Amino acid sequence: MAKPIDEVAVLGAGVMGAAIAAHLANAGFKVLLLDIAPRDAPPGDAWARNRIARDGLARAKASKPASFFSKRFEPLVTVGNLDDDLGRAAACDFIVEAVIENLAIKRSLYEKLDALGGGAVIASNTSGLPLAELVAGRSHAFKQRFLITHFFNPPRYLKLVEVVTGEETSDAAVALAEQVCGTYLGKGLVRAKDTPNFIANRVGTFSLMRTLALAVEQRYTVEEVDAIFGKPLGRPKSAVFRTADVVGLDTLVHVANNCHEALTNDERREVFALPDVLKELVERKWLGSKTKQGFYKKEGAGIVQLNLATLAYEPLTKPRFASIGATKGVDDLDERIRRVVNGDDRASSLARQVLYETLIYAANRMGDIADSVVDVDRALKWGFGWERGPFETWDALGVPETISKMEAAGLAVPAWVKERVAAGETHFYERETPTELRQLAVRGGYHPVPQDERRLSLEEVRAFGGEVERNAGASLLDLGDGVFCVEFHAKMNAIDADIVSMMQKGVERAERDGVALIIGNEAPDAFCAGANLFSLMVGLSQNNYAAVDQILIGFQNACMRTRYARVPVVCAPFGLALGGGAEVVLGCPHVRAAAELYVGCVEVGVGLIPAGGGCMEMAARASALADTNPNVDLLALVRQPFEYLGTARVSTSAEEGRDLGYLHAHDSVSMSRDTLLADAKQLALGLARAGYRPPPPRRVKVVGTTGAATMKAALHNLADAHRISEHDAKIGSHLARILSGGDVAPGARVTEQHLLDLEREAFLSLCGEEKSRARIQHMLTTSKPLRN
């Protein structure tokens, strides 16, 4: 049984400390955030003495990307100072220490905490200081409850937490820290050894520093390097130099210096020595995004790149390489990696050299920084955003073949890797069964890769014959226990006729043969990025409005079927849920959302309005709020979705999605994307076992023509002030008409179908507008909205 945790403390309100405090609040904890008291603050003046912590919290509240899920969570963080309030921190259940990365300062703080006693588990967020040195001189009791939990910045968004324990750290302390970081915060936990910079920064910084050195030596441009080490190799879009700018060149220098100073026995120690270009940039305080210039700089409306030889900024050139071009349209990442590395141009040459050296470096660290290859791979994937870790990359390239190529290039391959290949163990990973992934041990043999027992994998369900039906856009899977799942798998999971059909079939099958249905998928970033605009444009090019109307009717009916199904239907959205994707979310009576959900009806960006029930549902929810709060003005409630829909407002989290009306008060959130589908299944089963009955049909109270006139007047004022275009005002007028119920009196009640009919009427009308068609075509061509 997990220990209940009431209050946690964060010591240090700098960038990381305040952001960690915010994310702990996101998980529902009461958080005490402390920092030093200003020297000039008089005793007894709490406002003055808490200023540094208060300023840190203010920065977290204003940060972009947002540290808090919603403003509702901000009051959970209270501030204090380390002189007056350390005793309050010692009384908490869990303490995160995030003060400045200075060994003497941390030790001084630990001495005070040790003297205060208590049972709090103390976790340092150090990025690389040795645990043994941190706790030197502390009591046995203190050492038992001390460990390192190294978050990556920004802590809300990056999955990795490296966990480092000492010889005396108790199992109970580890369990509580992993409960907080893993279960409550949803982080991916990796056990690291007590070595400088642990796993991710050790290997990731090696790769980055080696890339920089080779780029300078072989005269690659900043832009060329980032074109190579981005999507083609499964790395973030920020690749190498944009990543360095975002992290901060001063931070990169700190990590590299720490490695160079501490790793006296590392065979590649000199890779961490600072090159002249990096020294000069730091000297000039060109530190990246925080100082508005680094390897890139914004000039006017454009971006310029640093010339690594002259340190002058030059225009971007959009470099082209044959090997990079060969990856276009290739979804299989392993194949993309092979095409780049095995090519014969300058891009391939650099990619090959950096990857080969990084793979060898990671393999040489086994047993030193980590005990298993999966810990190294997960650290780089979860901390640096790589889609393939070093050993997964080696498998993709072929281990025996790559060893031969490495040796032909004069590189020394680690003996243990060659020994394992000679013994017939030619992969770092293998599957014993479709569901059991095993990893190679340094001393030989394969062992299971540890997985979260709460995880539910649709691929594994499919591998065991769980796919009931499939078409080009979606599948229906049997998850067991009477629960079925509609899985979208079209490009960006865009709504099309196949998905609509499978939604209908999913409800029918669950009602006939099961007890519940969930709607979810395992795409990396997009639950559903909207409707299939290409299919829509084809219909419009033929002026086939009847066909478009039938598509709308089908989608509306599918969404209504999920709401009124005789079995519970639970939607499990994550990432992007835009346009039609947001309407799928709105249509389901129950939602289990990933915490990182970016949901919104954005149809105005393509000159249209939500017509899959989105407008109807927003009007119905406003009506329900007014019915339960008779003193609340219905028009004020309706104007909120009018604004959100009219401006294509997208939430920055699931919780903000709740604030915007996309989630109900009863809907729930999973902090970990890994457990989302399993959580949704359990919610669906719970509803079924409780004797689920569908909600009754609604008669929606509307504001009528008077309310519509008020909203349209606001649009005209905005158009007169040139804040919106005339076409924006026209689209907004359609929204106002739908949300107000059409040509009815204020306070009238209308059926859901009445509002759905108004949606389709407006949608089809806008489809006939040339400016709307231009917006659709522009989005299809450029993936960007057109303002006309």
Give tens-digit pLDDT for 486-536.
999 999 999 999 999 999 999 999 999 999 999 999 999 999 999 999 989
Q: 736 lies in a domain?
A: no
Strand residue runs (E) in 146-212: 146-151, 160-165, 188-191
pLDDT band for position 435 (50/70/90)?
confident
Note whether 414 and 464 are same-domain residues: no
Average pLDDT, the chain: 96
Token pair of 335 as six digits: 């194949």
Determine the pLDDT at residue 436: 84
- Tell me phi and psi for residue 469, to 5 degrees: -155, 150
Domain of residue 35, residue span: 7-191
Identity at 565, one-letter amino acid code: A
**Which residues have a Cβ under 8 Å from the Cβ of 142 and sit 6 or more positions away?**
110, 113, 114, 122, 135
608, amino acid identity: L
* pLDDT of amino acid 2: 58
Quick check: 560 and 613 in contact, CB under 8 A?
Answer: yes
Q: Are strands 313-315 and 302-306 parallel, antiparallel or unpaired?
A: antiparallel
Burial class (CB in 10 A: 0-12, 13-18, 19+), 747: middle
- The CA distance from 158 to 20, in Å, is 11
Residue type for position 266: D
Would you say residue 428 lies in a domain?
yes
Q: Does residue 62 share a domain with residue 123?
A: yes
3-state secondary structure of 30: strand
Quote the strand ranges of 209-353, DSSP E: 296-299, 302-306, 313-315
User: What torsion, rounded to 10 degrees, do the Cα atoms 156, 158, 164, 170 define?
Assistant: 40
Domain CATH code at residue 369: 1.10.1040.50
Pick from 191, 194, 72: nearest CA to 132: 194
Backbone angles phi, psi at 347, to 5 degrees: -65, -45
CA atoms within 13 A on the CB side of 170: 13
Report d(CA 511, CA 589) in Å as an integer: 15
Same domain for 518 and 543? yes
CA distances from 70 to 24, 662, 758 (A): 13, 14, 33
Q: Is 676 exposed, middle or buried (0-12, 13-18, 19+ CB in 10 A)?
A: buried
Among candidate residues 147, 163, 330, the one with its CA nearest the CA of residue 231: 330
Cis upstream peptide for 154 (omega within 30°): yes
> Cα–Cα distance between 503 and 407 in angstroms, integer?
54
| 346 and 372 assigned to the same domain | yes
Rounded Cα–Cα distance for residues 130 and 301 (Å): 45
Last residue of a domain, one of 448, 477, 512: 448
Q: Same domain, yes or no, for 504 and 647?
A: yes
Q: Kindly indicate the confidence band of residue 196, based on its pLDDT and cuts at 50, 70 and 90.
A: very high
Q: Map residue 124 onto helix, strand or coil.
A: strand
Question: 28: Cβ–Cβ under 8 A, 6 or more apart, which residues?
Answer: 76, 184
Residue 740 lies in a domain: no
Q: Is the pLDDT of residue 432 over 90?
A: no
- pLDDT of 44-74, one tens digit each? 999 999 999 999 999 999 999 999 999 999 9
- HEC string of 329-360 equals CCCCHHHHHHHHHCCCCHHHHHHHHHHHHHHH
> Do the domain assignments include residue 523?
yes
CATH number where 484 lies: 3.90.226.10
3-state per-residue secondary structure call for 639-659: HHHHHHHHCCCCCCCHHHHHH
Question: How many independent structural domains does the chain possess?
Answer: 3
- Say which CATH number the domain at 30 has: 3.40.50.720
Q: Distance between CA 474 and CA 496 in Å, rounded?
A: 10
Rounded to an integer, what is the distance from CA 707 to the centroid of its chain?
Answer: 39
Task: Determine the average pLDDT of the residues in 220-230.
Answer: 98
- Angle at CA of residue 270, ends 266 and 273, nearest 5°: 125
Euclidean distance between CA atoms 66 and 61, whole angstroms: 7
Instruction: List b or e across 354-372, with b for residues whose CB sees 16 or more CB atoms inside 10 angstroms.
Output: bbbbbbbbbbbbbeebbeb
Q: Is residue 717 part of a domain?
A: no
Tens of pLDDT along 110-132?
Answer: 999 999 999 999 999 999 899 99
| Inter-residue contact 773 to 607 (CB < 8 Å) | yes
Q: Which two tokens stand for residue 127?
A: 């990025």
The two tokens of residue 56 are 């840190």
pLDDT (0 to 100) of residue 452 = 85
* Residue 686 within any structural domain of the chain: yes
Q: Which helix (H) or strand (E) holds 98?
A: none
Helices (H), 579-666: 580-587, 614-628, 634-646, 654-659
Claim to verify: residue 414 and residue 495 sit in the same structural domain: no
Res. 383: pLDDT tops 60: yes
Tens digit of each residue's pLDDT (9 = 90 or more) over 611-626: 999 999 999 999 999 9
Task: Answer yes or no: do 353 and 472 share one domain.
Answer: no
Rounded to 5 degrees, what are φ and ψ at 58? -60, -40
| Domain end marker among 681, 696, 711 | 696
762 domain residue, yes or no: no
Question: How large is the average pLDDT for residues 413-428?
Answer: 97
Q: Which two tokens stand for residue 204?
A: 């990731």
**Per-residue pLDDT band at 207 (split at 50, 70, 90):** very high
Q: Is 452 exposed, middle or buried (0-12, 13-18, 19+ CB in 10 A)?
A: middle
Query: Distance between CA 253 and CA 261 in Å, rounded?
Result: 12
At residue 486's C-alpha, the angle toward residues 483 and 488, to 5°, is 155
Q: What are phi and psi of 670, to 5 degrees?
A: -105, 125
Q: What is the pLDDT, as a whole number, of residue 1? A: 46
Confirm if 190 and 163 have CB atoms less than 8 A apart: yes
Q: Are residues 219 and 122 in the same domain?
A: no
DSSP 8-class letter at 432: E
Domain end (from 448, 481, 501): 448
Residue pLDDT, tens place only, 577-603: 999 999 999 999 999 999 999 999 999
Contacts of 256 (CB under 8 A, 6+ apart): 205, 209, 272, 273, 274, 278
| Same-domain check for residues 563 and 518 | yes
pLDDT at 202 over 90: yes
126 occurs within a structural domain: yes
Does one domain contain both 258 and 308? yes
Please give the structure tokens belonging to residue 709: 């006139």
Widest pairwise Cα distance in the chain: 83
Q: Which amino acid is at 536?
A: L
The reply to whether 491 and 632 lie within a common domain is yes
By the 8 A CB rule, do 21 and 76 touch? Answer: no
189 φ/ψ angles, rounded to the nearest 5 degrees:
-95, 135
* Residue 121 and residue 78 in one domain: yes
